[in-house]
Structure 1
Amino acid sequence: MRTGIRLGLIAAVVVTMITSGRLNPSHEHAIANLILLVLSVGGSFIATGERGRWMPRTGYALTSVAGAALTVLAPDSAVIALPAMAVFAAAGRLPLRESFVIMVAGVGVNVGLFFLLRRDSPPILLYSLMPAGLWVAGIGRRQYAERAEQAELLLSETRRASQASAKAAALAERARIAREIHDILAHSLSALSLRLQAADGLLADSSLPADHPALAKLRGCLAAAGALAREGLDETRRAVHALRTDDTPLPELLESLVDSRKGQPVRLRVIGAQRTLPAEVSLTLYRAIQEALTNAGKHAPGAPVDVTLDYGGDSMRVDIRNPLPDNNIRQVKPTGAGYGIAGLRERIELLGGELSAGPSGADWVVSVRIAR
């Protein structure tokens, strides 16, 4: 029972006892009334204690028995609130058998003392039935609370099971897509790389002079095509790995990307404690960094690029910064390979994030933020 209600009931009982003159020294049961009142009020405070197993049981029993006796000696309407309050609270807090014993003890003392003192016409039936009725109400309230708690737990378990099922379905679908990518694109790129190597070998055996300009140009094109095929194969394998797992660290994904930027110094900085990101988020951030590095290499070749991963706050933030060439502000456009800034912005917005790209002082800055 709430502290305010309990204190209000106790105050009402004390005021009733004082104003009715039942604590007046001239009253025949003044001492007994005072003792029973102190025991009833003290028991109600003891019952609220959390120390030990017996404190609430002792407090409820003391208030129930002493309050029941007090209702016989001082049959005022407010006095019955003490044992009734104790029985109702015990029914909601103690085991069924213990609260029932406390209720029966109070009713038994009330009825027994009534017949022992041969009272004329107190509302003995009301005084006996009220604690019993409140005990039943307390049991009903407790059962309702338990059922509500069980329903909440069941709902929570159902929600977790639904989320687990949805995640399992998503992982299964991603695994299927990964297999399709591997079986189609990776095999095709592997075959293309082998064909390009074979073509280069055939050129080596051709009758054209080794220093023929057309032959050198053709070999250069074949070498570039082979490099693109190998790079595409590596990218495909990384995408397949990211799709098959849900805990790929972003810095790990970026290591090979940074190492592959020949002639373009890239500094990677991590702020905050690293945490696991969903595969979709890691792969999208990877693509954003890849696109920004490609644009930096196209518009400011050889310029250093700073990549910052910020795990702090309530979002994941990535900043890619490189100096503007000759302090001229140029609009970064899609490179023709990959998604381009516009395509990446749409992809990031689908994840609930945002992308911005533009000049900041003497630098060009691409910023990506995705909420947790």
Structure 2
Amino acid sequence: MRVMPAASAIQWTAATGRRLARGWAGSPRALDVLAAGGCFALMMLDLPGLASADNSLNGATATLVLAAGAATMLVRRQAPWVGYLTALLFIGWLHELTLIQFALYSLGRYRGRRAGALATAGYVGYAYLLFNLPGWPAHQGDTLSSFLSLVVPIGVLAAAVGIAAYRHDLVRELDVRQAESAVLQAVQQERTSVARDVHDFVGRELTLLTVRSEVLAMRSRGTAHEKDFDELSETARRAHLVLNEIIVQRGERAATPGVDGLPALAEESGRAGSPVRLSVDEATHGLSPLRQAAVYRVVQECLTNAAKHASGATVDVSISADGPRLRIAVGNALPARSPLRAPVSSGSGTASMSERVSSLGGTLTATRTDDRYEVVATLPRG
């Protein structure tokens, strides 16, 4: 029976796969082609022996048969059982164990533990029956120990590696889903925060409008404008009621601070070990409360990121309001190598910043170089 040792075959395939996968960016189709090519190349190493007395293949026919068997690896993700059944045929016909290694790995990798274990058990049982056939082949079937030392390790190792890769894929997929969920949750929380800020700021103005219109309605009693002021008062009251119904307040919560809260934020960052050089244009104090809240949130998140990834580095914060747009720039140097472990981060803070800025018609970009990280956000002033 002709077979490359299981460990050597898997190591050779894995090493070759890593090199080529880098160039092909890990494309699933490219990896399937690589698996088929690797399987075919390993089986072709035994091509001279396939014309021996145990089968009737010549060189050209054997090449076509081996190519057809290796081609089943092209559908190993969608139909791994096809390669498995073909590999069993190869065992009984050609005494070839290379394809079964790829087939069992594919079943464990793309169908999980149960399919991998079932396929391995079927393979071992089938091969055991063949080993007990008279003269099949005599030099491998003389003793049970030869069977246990060759066939069983091949199947168990190949399936186990595939199952381990399957579990790794599940863990990686779970991590991706959790990161996506964290980002979506952060965006939703930011939208809720923006909505509450709208309620706080716009609701206050509607309250003043309602009170003022009611006063004017009382003063216009008996005049020609009485009905108009009554309608104005009722409209303001309904608008306030609709605002309260759309944006439900869940507990007591203060509105997001504005530009006036930046000095305290910078002082807090300095106490935490990240000093701040703060430059704020005086014109920003005249911005609307919602835009001031956006400025505060962007700076707050940037200082949090600086504390995580560049603790001790000075953070430059610049808020300017020249022309029709407001510009927020926050940058800090990056350490060449941090002695601390990298903090856990899902990237949801950047998503929430971007959501806040885009909700006001602005843009946000984050740029990282070898030695510096900078966030720039622009907002329309009006």
TM-score by length of 1: 0.45
Report which structure shows greater RCO (CA 8 Å, sep ≥6): 2
TM-score by length of 2: 0.44
Greater Rg over alpha carbons, structure: 1
